[in-house]
A and B are shown apart, each in its own frame.
Chain A
Amino acid sequence: MRGIFTISQLTIHETLRKRVLLAATLLGFAFLVIFALGFYFMNREVINSPRGAETQAQRALIYIFLMMAGLYAVNFLMVMMAALLPVDTLSGEIRSGAIQSLVTKPLRRAEIVLGKWLGFWVILAGYLALMGGGVLLIARIVSGITPQNIFIGLALILLEATLLLTLSIAGGTRLSTLANGVLVFGLFGLAFIGGWIEQIGALFQNETARYVGVIASLIVPSESLWQLAAYNMQPALMRDLAMTPFSPASVPSNAMVVWALGYTLLVLLLGVWSFRTRDL
């Protein structure tokens, strides 16, 4: 256990030292500023609308739509961070040989994998708290509205990031940095396209398309988690419209969450096993 914490500390330290986090945070702040400005001016537009026809409900819809767009961007940033931050951590150290000085210390190889995983997870959780919290706070200050189920929503986004993080760590035990990056983004892309095929299939009641989409979601449940997060955070009215990119026509079932959790655990165990059994 001590080993896990030392390694996760080291991982966080390294990420801070290498200024990756600084870059990501600056980028995140730039995004929040733009979001705040956009939200502010949009809000002024809505309030001063000469038509005055917008009902309270319509206004709320616009706010929620903007908020969902903001959270979607946050989700995307999280995906990037989750896939990229750890992409080099094992493959790079294996390649350079720096890993040899770690694995010959009195700690289990599993502790190295889990320690790195934990370190990145803490960073991702912190980043989500900052960015997701920022979007929600800005929206609340400007419009006074907060979407429902935000904790469920953020937890699902975090689970999605965790899943991709785990894939990236596990891939790094055997693949080169480049191959690992291609793999993780490829899988994410697969899930992304699969998710859309599923939505379109649901919209046009094409069972085959839906089926293809579901299969893709099973292979990588990342996109489903975002859809579930979006579904949970928006009001029934917007869900029923099923017309925005954030209102899934086909809602992933809760079983998908269980699958994603099991999937993450399985990939993590596989990563540990793969690192334990390889020559260094």
Chain B
Amino acid sequence: MNHSAIETNALRKEFGAKVAVADLTLTVQRGEVFGFLGPNGAGKTTSVKMLLGLVARTSGEGRVLDAPLGNVAARAKIGFLPEHFRFQDWLSGREFLDLHARLYGIETENRKARIEKLLTRVDLQDAANRKLKEYSKGMLQRIGLAAALLNEPQLVFLDEPTSGLDPLGRLIVRDVIQELRAQGTAVFLNSHLLSEVEVTCDRVAFVKNGRVIREMGLRETRNEIEIELQVKNPTPNLLRDLAQFGKNVRQWNGSIHLETDGESHIPEINRWLVAQGVDVYKIGAAKPSLEKMFLEVMGEDARAG
């Protein structure tokens, strides 16, 4: 068995003259939560559709779960929540899940328990007998998420799964993704909500104009860390003296930042500050935010395209 859930090489999709995806080359490991980030029109949805066989590739190669793109048998092990979650809206929530479970070929005896469990998971037990037609946007997205998990997939594609959800719904999605990771399910996540991506993803790729321009892990233990602290009345002397603990000491956004080579410096700095008689309001590691990185990678000129 191959270890990657997704492997593509120079996948390309053109819609007439419009190049939606120019060159998609990436690998997603089994069991990995992979974030796929990029501005509007970067080609994220089109990439997912190519991987699922919804859209035929113009050129390039790809394998998903060790099968060619669009392979019918492999789809039994794949879950998918589309970007525009529109379903058979004349069915009730429960009927809808039952239909999709049947389409996955799940046996009758397993179906019922699985459906009830998922209805509870997405918090829709109370609405299960109502028609999808009467569902709100967020409810539809929840039922769509449940449908994507019916077959206990090895790989799930979630195309902006929280776009219609309230904070509670987002929390559910976050937990679901974490559960999936714990079960060893790979997740391919398209999202614009970088704070969520930050907490859920193992690795991210940035796409721009249909090209992966940067890939990076979010779980790597970095030695270099940035420390952020807030003290009462910082003086120039204090800033100068802090340089003994690390480099690049600067004041930014109401707090002091400095780069050090490890977390062990945090209590050390704290002790030193207290000994100097400085009032410390806050001290800790400043994570470089994904948002900042996104803007950096994409450049200021990133336009929807």
The answer, yes or no, to whether B80 is at the interface (CB within 8 Å) is yes
In the complex, which of the residues B54, B72, B90, B91 contacts A100, with contact meaning CB atoms closer than 8 Å?
A: B54
The answer, yes or no, to whether A97 is at the interface (CB within 8 Å) is yes
User: Could you say which residues of chain B place their CB within 8 Å of the CB of A96?
Assistant: 86
User: Could you say which residues of chain B place their CB within 8 Å of the CB of A105?
Assistant: 75, 100, 103-104
Cβ-closest chain A residue relative to B96: A101
B91 to chain A minimum Cβ distance, whole angstroms, is 8
The answer, yes or no, to whether B55 is at the interface (CB within 8 Å) is yes
In the complex, which of the residues B56, B74, B80 contacts A279, with contact meaning CB atoms closer than 8 Å?
A: B56
Known: A10-B99, A14-B88. A108 touches B72 (CB 8 A): yes
Task: Decide: B82 and A101 in contact? CB cutoff 8 A.
Answer: yes
The answer, yes or no, to whether A3 is at the interface (CB within 8 Å) is yes
Task: Decide: A107 and B82 in contact? CB cutoff 8 A.
Answer: no
The answer, yes or no, to whether B22 is at the interface (CB within 8 Å) is no
User: Could you say which residues of chain A place their CB within 8 Å of the CB of B105?
Assistant: 2, 106
Residue among A17, A104, A107 with the most chain B CB within 10 A? A104
User: Could you say which residues of chain A place their CB within 8 Å of the CB of B78?
Assistant: 104
Task: Decide: A103 and B88 in contact? CB cutoff 8 A.
Answer: no
The answer, yes or no, to whether A6 is at the interface (CB within 8 Å) is yes
Cβ-closest chain A residue relative to B54: A280
Give Cα A243–Cα B110 distance, bound, in whole angstroms.
65
Task: Decide: A98 and B86 in contact? CB cutoff 8 A.
Answer: yes
The answer, yes or no, to whether B119 is at the interface (CB within 8 Å) is no
Residues 160-192 (chain A) with a chain B CB within 8 angstroms: none
Q: Indicate the size class of the contact surface on chain B.
A: 20 to 34
User: Could you say which residues of chain B place their CB within 8 Å of the CB of A3?
Assistant: 103
The answer, yes or no, to whether B87 is at the interface (CB within 8 Å) is yes
Give Cα A154–Cα B56 distance, bound, in whole angstroms.
43
User: Could you say which residues of chain B place their CB within 8 Å of the CB of A98?
Assistant: 86-89
Task: Decide: A102 and B103 in contact? CB cutoff 8 A.
Answer: yes
User: Could you say which residues of chain A place their CB within 8 Å of the CB of B86?
Assistant: 96-98
Task: Decide: B90 and A17 in contact? CB cutoff 8 A.
Answer: yes
The answer, yes or no, to whether A51 is at the interface (CB within 8 Å) is no
B102 to chain A minimum Cβ distance, whole angstroms, is 5
Known: A97-B84, A98-B86. A103 touches B102 (CB 8 A): no
The answer, yes or no, to whether B186 is at the interface (CB within 8 Å) is no
Residues 233-280 (chain A) with a chain B CB within 8 angstroms: 277, 279-280
Task: Decide: B73 and A280 in contact? CB cutoff 8 A.
Answer: no
User: Could you say which residues of chain A place their CB within 8 Å of the CB of B82?
Assistant: 97, 100-101
A273 to chain B minimum Cβ distance, whole angstroms, is 13
Give Cα A168–Cα B147 distance, bound, in whole angstroms.
30
Task: Decide: A279 and B99 in contact? CB cutoff 8 A.
Answer: no
Task: Decide: A106 and B76 in contact? CB cutoff 8 A.
Answer: yes
A2 to chain B minimum Cβ distance, whole angstroms, is 7
Task: Decide: B90 and A18 in contact? CB cutoff 8 A.
Answer: yes
Residue among A6, A101, A108 with the most chain B CB within 10 A? A101
Residues 26-56 (chain B) with a chain A CB within 8 angstroms: 49, 52-56
Give Cα A10–Cα B99 distance, bound, in whole angstroms.
8
Known: A279-B54, A280-B54. A101 touches B100 (CB 8 A): yes
Give Cα A2–Cα B78 distance, bound, in whole angstroms.
19
Known: A3-B103, A98-B88, A105-B103. A280 touches B75 (CB 8 A): no
Give Cα A96–Cα B54 distance, bound, in whole angstroms.
14
Known: A98-B88, A280-B55. A104 touches B72 (CB 8 A): no
Task: Decide: A106 and B72 in contact? CB cutoff 8 A.
Answer: yes
Known: A18-B90, A280-B54. A104 touches B99 (CB 8 A): no
Task: Decide: B56 and A277 in contact? CB cutoff 8 A.
Answer: yes
Question: 10 shortest A-B CB distances, which residue pairs?
Answer: A106-B76, A105-B103, A279-B55, A106-B75, A97-B86, A96-B86, A97-B84, A280-B54, A104-B80, A100-B82
What 19 new A-B contacts, CB under 8 Å, besides A10-B99, A101-B88, A105-B103? Answer: A17-B91, A18-B90, A96-B86, A97-B85, A98-B86, A98-B87, A98-B88, A100-B54, A100-B80, A101-B80, A101-B100, A101-B144, A103-B54, A104-B78, A105-B100, A106-B72, A106-B74, A106-B75, A280-B54
The 24 listed contacts between A and B (C-beta, < 8 Å) are: A2-B105, A6-B103, A10-B88, A17-B90, A18-B90, A96-B86, A97-B82, A97-B84, A97-B85, A98-B88, A101-B80, A101-B100, A101-B144, A101-B147, A103-B54, A104-B52, A104-B53, A105-B103, A106-B75, A106-B104, A107-B103, A279-B54, A279-B55, A280-B49
